[in-house]
Homo-oligomer: A and B are copies of this chain.
Amino acid sequence: MPPEWSSSPPDLLLVIDRTSGRPLRAQLEQELREAIRSCRLRAGERLPSSRELARTLGLSRGLVQDCYAQLVAEGYLVTRPGSATRVGAGAATSPGAAGPRAEATRLVADFRWGVPDLSSFPVHDWLWATREAARGMTTAELDYGDSRGSSVLREVLAGYLRRVRAASGDPELIVVCNGYAQGLGLVLRVLAERGVRTVAFEDPGSPATVDAAAGAAGLRAVPVPVDEHGIDVRALAATDARAVVVTPAHQWPTGVALAPERRLALIQWATDRNAVIIEDDYDAEFRYDREPVGALQGLAPDRVVSLGTVSKSLAPALRIGWVACPPALAGPLAEHKHRSDRGTPTLDQLALARLIESGRFDRHLRRMRATYSARRAALLTALAEHAPGLRVTGLAAGFHAVAHLPAGADEHRVVAAARARSVGLYGMSACRASRAATPARLVLGFGDVREQSVVEGVAAIGDLLTDRRRSTGP
């Protein structure tokens, strides 16, 4: 028996028919040839050792060796001393292979939004937490679990939400999801099932909300305008919506905080209409002013569903988020989560719990706050130098800013002109429900842009942001 894992042979489905009367070696050769021709075995793939294959198929090892030798002679297989037998290059043409992807043009700076600094992902801390979690994991935790998520993570998240977000954190009312998108989708399905027909969303806001609403049992989505105090609650009240998706701590994408009187008015609206407020607490962890804005959910836990995610604090690829919901919705939400996928991967959940509990998550957040704070400062300094007079707002939290282009400027032209200079800019129009007569704005994401690139990028396109003739000319 080979002691090393690296020499373990792969599995291979070959059928030998002992009742057919045909010689076994001929059958095996034909099976292997056919497997290679039909691309079930592709160039470079390793074959089982002759010993292993002989044992699996109940043949003599010599027969398998002869068969391999024959196919090597025919070019189907290749072999080198001390190495596994593999399928020969060019033994069959490989169908269905995708062509090479065009490399994206290399940009000086790409101010795309919604992505944190991916290169700062604390990979060693995550691996440490995964290892620790796996060590402490019980056998039962490897089974199908509570569809709401691991009780360990729910307990830790509840404590975290209470501490950091002034939220009403109760582990029994938390459902762990695969990121924000799944959480929103499931909440909307639950609401649709309970008779909600229309869901309101912020305008400007996230275009994904409309898609999620349509995907959830055909809910109608209506836009409600956002001004400098957040969502216009009077306009909301004029709709027939019985649910609304809001970003109170740091409105997406304008960056304003929902004003205190609006917070109260919104809760009053929900109470009067027997409606539900869905709070997207997407980048709550990153704030730069002294007085942070607590979660709306803490004020009215019976009316507010609060959605959180690690996509901005750690990395989108982890696909972990959570829903903290009113008692009435917890049961139906758990049921929908069960129906959807039986629960979020347990080891990942336990790793996140360990990361938070150990203090490493908080440490990462502090480090990232310093990083984003420096990028934010670099952005403001560079804009002041290269686009003097440009109005920039929305910077109290998170990692994006809003640049107000001069009256009459054309977002699309500015974006195109910047692209011609290898700088990625993104207009706010993509976040708007109505495209008519809206002021030209850019959403400048700086989460995944290094300080140096921020400076170089702004230097390259600063003139486009203030000079009307260049940005709107023919």
Report if A96-B172 is in contact (Cβ < 8 Å); known contacts: A340-B182, A345-B318. yes
A139-147, A224-232, A407-415, A453-461: which one contacts chain B? Answer: A139-147
User: Complex Cα distance A332/B362, Å?
Assistant: 40
* A41 x B162 contact (CB < 8 A): yes
Contact among B40, B125, B144, B319 with A316 in the assembled complex (CB-CB below 8 Å): B144
User: Complex Cα distance A362/B10, Å?
Assistant: 6
* B123 x A127 contact (CB < 8 A): no
* A45 x B13 contact (CB < 8 A): no
Which residue from chain B places its CB closest to the CB of A98 in the assembled complex?
Answer: B172
Interface residue A16 (Cβ < 8 Å from any Cβ of B): yes
* A40 x B339 contact (CB < 8 A): no
User: Complex Cα distance A292/B56, Å?
Assistant: 11
> Could you say which of A11, A41, A45 has the most chain B C-beta atoms within 10 Å of its C-beta?
A11
Which residue from chain B places its CB closest to the CB of A8 in the assembled complex?
Answer: B359
List chain B residues, Cβ under 8 A from A121. Answer: 139, 142
User: Complex Cα distance A472/B131, Å?
Assistant: 51
List chain B residues, Cβ under 8 A from A360. Answer: 5, 8
Interface residue A211 (Cβ < 8 Å from any Cβ of B): yes
* B9 x A359 contact (CB < 8 A): yes
List chain B residues, Cβ under 8 A from A130. Answer: 127, 130
Interface residue A374 (Cβ < 8 Å from any Cβ of B): no
Interface residue A343 (Cβ < 8 Å from any Cβ of B): yes
Interface residue A12 (Cβ < 8 Å from any Cβ of B): yes
* B45 x A163 contact (CB < 8 A): yes
Interface members, chain A 137-170 (any B CB < 8 Å): 137, 139-145, 159-160, 162-166, 169-170
> Could you give, for residues 45-61 of chain A, a 1 whenever the CB lies within 8 Å of some chain B CB and a 0 otherwise?
11000000000011000
Least Cβ distance of A17 to chain B in Å? 7
Please give the number of chain A residues whose Cβ is less than 8 angstroms from any Cβ of chain B in the complex. 93
Report if A58-B182 is in contact (Cβ < 8 Å); known contacts: A6-B359, A127-B130, A342-B319. no
Least Cβ distance of A68 to chain B in Å? 16
List chain B residues, Cβ under 8 A from A7. Answer: 359
> Could you give, for residues 7-45 of chain A, a 1 whenever the CB lies within 8 Å of some chain B CB and a 0 otherwise?
111111101110000000000000000010001111001
* A40 x B181 contact (CB < 8 A): no
List chain B residues, Cβ under 8 A from A320. Answer: 345
* A162 x B42 contact (CB < 8 A): yes
Interface residue A358 (Cβ < 8 Å from any Cβ of B): yes
Interface residue A212 (Cβ < 8 Å from any Cβ of B): yes
* A142 x B162 contact (CB < 8 A): no
Report if A317-B359 is in contact (Cβ < 8 Å); known contacts: A11-B164, A123-B134, A130-B130. no
* A315 x B142 contact (CB < 8 A): yes
Which residue from chain B places its CB closest to the CB of A169 in the assembled complex?
Answer: B40
Least Cβ distance of A235 to chain B in Å? 28
> Could you say which of A137, A162, A341, A345 has the most chain B C-beta atoms within 10 Å of its C-beta?
A341
* B127 x A341 contact (CB < 8 A): no
Interface residue A178 (Cβ < 8 Å from any Cβ of B): yes
User: Complex Cα distance A69/B58, Å?
Assistant: 78
User: Complex Cα distance A143/B282, Å?
Assistant: 16
Interface members, chain A 92-135 (any B CB < 8 Å): 95-96, 98, 115, 118-119, 121, 123, 125-127, 130-131, 134
User: Complex Cα distance A180/B202, Å?
Assistant: 36
Interface members, chain A 392-443 (any B CB < 8 Å): none
Task: Write 10 A-B pairs (CB below 8 A) sorted by A numbering.
Answer: A6-B359, A13-B166, A35-B162, A39-B162, A95-B170, A121-B142, A127-B130, A317-B346, A318-B345, A318-B346
Known: A10-B362, A121-B139, A340-B340. 17 other contacts (CB 8 A): A5-B359, A7-B359, A8-B359, A9-B359, A10-B163, A11-B362, A15-B294, A35-B162, A57-B290, A98-B171, A115-B144, A126-B347, A142-B316, A144-B317, A182-B341, A185-B341, A319-B343
Closest 4 CB pairs of A and B: A8-B359, A40-B162, A317-B346, A182-B341
